[in-house]
Amino acid sequence: MDKTGINNGGVWRVSENGVLDVERGLPKVREGRVFSFTGWGSMAELKQAGVGAKGTEIPQMWLCGGDGSLPPVYQRFIVEGAEPSLITRDNCTVGLCYEDNHARYCLLTGILPPDTSVSRVEQTSAVFEAVEDALKDANMTFDNVVRTWLYMDDILDWYDDFNRVRDDFFRSRNVYDGLVPASTGIGSANLYGAAFTACAIAVTPKDDSTYVIPVTSPLQCAALDYGSSFSRAVEIGTPDYRTLMISGTASIKPGGQTAFVGDVDRQIQLTMDVVEGIMKARAMSWNDATRVVMYLKKNEFLDNWRAWLQKNKLENLPLINIEADVCRDDLLVELEVDCVKPVY
pLDDT 10s digits, 112-158: 999 999 999 999 999 999 999 999 999 999 999 999 999 999 999 99
Amino acid 1: pLDDT: 38
Describe the crossing of helices 120-135 and 155-172 by its angle, rounded to 10 degrees.
40
Residues whose CB is less than 8 angstroms from the CB of residue 208 and which lie 6 or more positions away in sequence, other chains included: none
Into how many domains does the chain fold?
1
Mean pLDDT of 225-247: 94
Domain span including residue 224: 2-342
Amino acid 300: pLDDT: 96
Amino acid 91: pLDDT: 87
Residue among 154, 139, 131, 257 nearest 201 (CA): 131
Q: What percent of the chain has pLDDT over 90?
A: 82
Amino acid 2: pLDDT: 42
Categorize the per-residue pLDDT at 221 as very low, low, confident or very high, splitting at 50, 70 and 90.
Answer: confident
User: 27-31, 189-193, 258-262, 296-300 — which is least confidently predicted?
Assistant: 27-31
Q: What is the mean pLDDT of the chain?
A: 94
Q: What CATH number did the domain enclosing 238 receive?
A: 3.30.1330.40
Amino acid 49: pLDDT: 84
> Can you give the length of the chain in residues?
344
Region of 240 on the Ramachandran plot (φ > 0 left; ψ -120 to 50 alpha; else beta): alpha
Categorize the per-residue pLDDT at 167 as very low, low, confident or very high, splitting at 50, 70 and 90.
Answer: very high
Q: How far is CA 78 from CA 17, 37, 49, 231, in A?
A: 11, 9, 21, 26
Hey, which bits of 90-232 come out as E strands?
Answer: 92-99, 103-111, 145-152, 182-187, 189-190, 196-205, 211-215
Q: pTM score, two decimals? A: 0.95
**CA 276 to CA 125: how far, in whole Å?**
34
Mean pLDDT of 330-342: 97
pLDDT: is 228 or 251 the higher one? 251
Burial grade of 63 (CB within 10 A; 0-12, 13-18, 19 or more): buried
Residues whose CB is less than 8 angstroms from the CB of residue 168 and which lie 6 or more positions away in sequence, other chains included: none
3-class SS at 41? Answer: strand
Mean pLDDT of 35-58: 86
Alpha-carbon dihedral angle through residues 20, 23, 24, 26, given to the nearest 10 degrees: 20
Query: Does the pLDDT value for residue 4 go beyond 70?
Result: no
Amino acid 255: pLDDT: 87
Mean pLDDT of 302-328: 96
pLDDT 10s digits, 133-145: 999 999 999 999 9
Scored b (16 or more CB within 10 A) or e, 82-106 reads bebeebebeeebbbbbbbbebbbbb
User: 6-10, 80-84, 194-198, 216-220 — which is least confidently predicted?
Assistant: 6-10
Mean pLDDT of 289-305: 96
Radius of gyration of the chain (CA): 19
Amino acid 344: pLDDT: 80
Do strands 33-41 and 60-64 pair parallel, antiparallel, or not at all (unpaired)? Answer: parallel
Q: How far is CA 30 from CA 3, 14, 95, 199, 240, in A?
A: 12, 12, 22, 25, 25
- Indicate the helix (H) or strand (E) that contains 161: helix 155-172
Categorize the per-residue pLDDT at 166 as very low, low, confident or very high, splitting at 50, 70 and 90.
Answer: very high
Amino acid 3: pLDDT: 45
Query: Does the pLDDT value for residue 52 go beyond 80?
Result: no
Amino acid 24: pLDDT: 84
Question: Is 200 within 8 Å of 154 (Cβ atoms)?
Answer: no
**CA 293 to CA 73: how far, in whole Å?**
11
Residue among 74, 132, 104, 97 nearest 291 (CA): 74
Residues whose CB is less than 8 angstroms from the CB of residue 271 and which lie 6 or more positions away in sequence, other chains included: 249, 250, 251, 333, 334, 335
Categorize the per-residue pLDDT at 242 as very low, low, confident or very high, splitting at 50, 70 and 90.
Answer: very high
Question: Is 234 within 8 Å of 212 (Cβ atoms)?
Answer: yes
Mean pLDDT of 263-282: 98
Amino acid 28: pLDDT: 86
The residue type at 225: D
- Indicate the helix (H) or strand (E) that contains 234: strand 233-237
